A and B are shown apart, each in its own frame.
Chain A
Amino acid sequence: MLVVLAREHDEEAARLVVQWASLGAVQLTPRDLSRPGWNQEHGRRRYQTAVIAGNRVGNDSIGAVLVRLAAVTAFDLPHVSPLDRSYVAAEMTAFLVFWLGSLGTRVVNRPIEGCLGGPPWPQAQWISEAARIGLPVVPFTRSTLQRRGVPDESMPTAPMNGDTVTVVGDKCVNSRSAVHAEHAKALAQSCGVDLLSVTFGTDNCEKGNSFLIAASPWPSLSDMRVSNELRRFLQEVMRANV
């Protein structure tokens, strides 16, 4: 079984579940966490069960999980009393961290720092991590003076032509440059994610120097090349966890 963890009205997730029906794809929504049948016992491997698309399944029947939800929010829980929604959302998110953690390498992307599907980093942190592993970056600059409508002339900006590539496992999709592909994969590996979009820019000088300017563990999957590569990768994950 391939599980896609996503909000109830996530159209992209619903489309993938239809496209991947032959892989046994089903969607797990926050609503499922309010159904009887979840059992996760710390340390005991047998009799761990989940409720996916309304059906009770053993954890062992799950071959892979694609996470498309950073956290459960109060808006996901219209069936819960309004006064309790924030609390229940926090409990469900904390439980999913535990459950997904127990599934190990079957999960793409794995929870990190309390976020269900990869590092919850702001852009500055992606830039910092890229610089740390030796990738050329455009410095991320921000001044709260700008938020007050006061222009800050000291903050440099650099016009860039962008190239966005998507890392899926050990492959890179839509890369126009072997260097960009190599750098994107290096960043994904350093952060422990299997799915990552990375945007590079080239400056306007004669040499056309290339810099990393942004990254995200939530790439759009509307591009067929990306979703096809992801399907292939998830099939490998499922085979490895038989």
Chain B
Amino acid sequence: MPHDSPLTAVDEALSELGLPLLRINQLAYSDMNIKLSVGSELRGELSLHDFPIKLQEISAIYLRPHPLIHRASIDSGVQSLRHEDAVEEALYTWVALTSSAVVNRPRAMAANGSKPYQLSLIESLGFKVPNTLVTTDPDEAAKFCRDQGAAIYKSVSGIRSKVARIRTDKCERWSTIASCPTQFQQYIDGLDCRAHVVGTEVFACSIRSTADDYRYTEDPVAVEPIVLPVKIRERCVQITAAMQLHFTGIDLRVTDGGEWYCFEVNPAPAFSYYEKHTGQRIAAAVAHFLARFEM
């Protein structure tokens, strides 16, 4: 959609490379038609304002989808709404099946929809992860938090995903835990870091903030480029590839004792905030990665 900062940044970087671009705007589905034929080959044609484009000629795709907001209104009729749904479904089918490079394929991104599930994968791929409990038991939640010394809670799915420290003065709200599985995690004291991985390139930075979650604070946040230790850098590249992703934003924290923890691998990283603060050319790296597949 327009006004998506990461998409705009990659679009500009691709334009600088002089490559032919097709921009598919989710708000413009009513102006599009798609024909797909799926069998031993995938063939298709997209027409935008009646201008046809063969899908087989698209070499690489950068995906930044948002929940579909129908441009057609109820007044336009049910057929228009169904048309927009049909276009979206056809596009997702094409993206799932095409042999073109996709950054990133929806099926590879799905693991991020369950944070504790993804954490299991992260640990199996070699990173330390914080102790984590998902529970509907207020007593067990309290015991876990006491055992950890310090703890945070965060959503399981990633929706309403603000991280918050456990505060004992809020314990009267813990009875609400019984109504829905709630995720508690060992609080790891240390320096926040973020690594953006594009193929085998890694752009890392540190983030200094007093907030529980630096993404949702108005307090000052200091973001600076850093160089990761070789082993951590390699592990970030490996974990990205193992998850069948081409581009990730990996949330890390390093303790005073030099232990590195990984909290999450974001498959659709909103990188422009970090690029703006560090000057790291992440959008250009994504553009160059996509350009490699140009026929």
A91:B36 contact, CB within 8 angstroms: no
B131:A128 contact, CB within 8 angstroms: no
* B249 part of interface (Cβ distance < 8 Å): no
A87:B160 contact, CB within 8 angstroms: yes
Given A98-B116, A125-B97, A128-B97, verify A143-B136 contact (CB < 8 Å): no
A42:B132 contact, CB within 8 angstroms: yes
* A114 part of interface (Cβ distance < 8 Å): yes
B96 to chain A, nearest CB (A): 6
Smallest CB-CB separation from A140: which chain B residue?
B38
* A101 part of interface (Cβ distance < 8 Å): yes
Contacts of B129 in A (CB 8 A): 42
Rounded to whole angstroms, the CA-CA distance of A42 and B117 in the bound complex is 9
B38:A91 contact, CB within 8 angstroms: no
Contacts of A11 in B (CB 8 A): none
Rounded to whole angstroms, the CA-CA distance of A155 and B133 in the bound complex is 52
A41:B133 contact, CB within 8 angstroms: yes
B96:A125 contact, CB within 8 angstroms: yes
Rounded to whole angstroms, the CA-CA distance of A145 and B92 in the bound complex is 17
Rounded to whole angstroms, the CA-CA distance of A40 and B155 in the bound complex is 14
Rounded to whole angstroms, the CA-CA distance of A121 and B219 in the bound complex is 44
Given A39-B137, A125-B97, verify A113-B107 contact (CB < 8 Å): yes
B241 to chain A, nearest CB (A): 18
* B56 part of interface (Cβ distance < 8 Å): no
B180:A34 contact, CB within 8 angstroms: yes
B68 to chain A, nearest CB (A): 14
Given A98-B117, A140-B37, A147-B79, verify A91-B157 contact (CB < 8 Å): yes
- The A interface is mostly helix, strand or loop, or mixed, namely mixed
CB interface residues, B 124-153, toward A, < 8 Å: 129, 131-138, 140, 144
CB interface residues, B 189-237, toward A, < 8 Å: none
Given A42-B131, A124-B97, A137-B40, verify A90-B35 contact (CB < 8 Å): no
Rounded to whole angstroms, the CA-CA distance of A137 and B37 in the bound complex is 12
Given A91-B180, A128-B42, A137-B39, verify A37-B137 contact (CB < 8 Å): yes
Rounded to whole angstroms, the CA-CA distance of A155 and B34 in the bound complex is 12
Rounded to whole angstroms, the CA-CA distance of A148 and B131 in the bound complex is 53
A142:B35 contact, CB within 8 angstroms: yes
B137 to chain A, nearest CB (A): 5
Given A92-B181, A147-B86, verify A38-B38 contact (CB < 8 Å): no
* B113 part of interface (Cβ distance < 8 Å): yes
A87:B39 contact, CB within 8 angstroms: no
CB interface residues, B 151-169, toward A, < 8 Å: 155-160
Contacts of B155 in A (CB 8 A): 91
Given A124-B38, A147-B79, verify A39-B140 contact (CB < 8 Å): yes
* A78 part of interface (Cβ distance < 8 Å): no
Given A33-B180, A87-B160, A131-B40, verify A124-B93 contact (CB < 8 Å): yes
A84 to chain B, nearest CB (A): 8
Please encode chain A, from 177 to 195, with 1 for each CB lying within 8 Å of some chain B CB and 0 for all others.
0000000000000000000
Please encode chain B, from 97 to 128, with 1 for each CB lying within 8 Å of some chain A CB and 0 for all others.
10000000011001101111101100100000
Rounded to whole angstroms, the CA-CA distance of A51 and B177 in the bound complex is 14
Given A94-B156, A97-B113, verify A144-B32 contact (CB < 8 Å): yes
* B294 part of interface (Cβ distance < 8 Å): no
B135:A38 contact, CB within 8 angstroms: yes
Rounded to whole angstroms, the CA-CA distance of A122 and B85 in the bound complex is 13
* B61 part of interface (Cβ distance < 8 Å): no
CB interface residues, A 84-133, toward B, < 8 Å: 87-88, 90-95, 97-98, 101-102, 113-114, 121-122, 124-125, 127-128, 131
Can you report 12 residue pairs joining A to B where beta carbons are below 8 Å apart? A40-B133, A43-B131, A51-B136, A88-B179, A91-B182, A95-B181, A124-B38, A125-B97, A128-B38, A140-B38, A142-B90, A145-B33
* Chain B contact residues, CB within 8 Å of chain A: 32-40, 42, 79, 82-83, 86-87, 89-90, 92-93, 96-97, 106-107, 110-111, 113-117, 119-120, 123, 129, 131-138, 140, 144, 155-160, 177-182
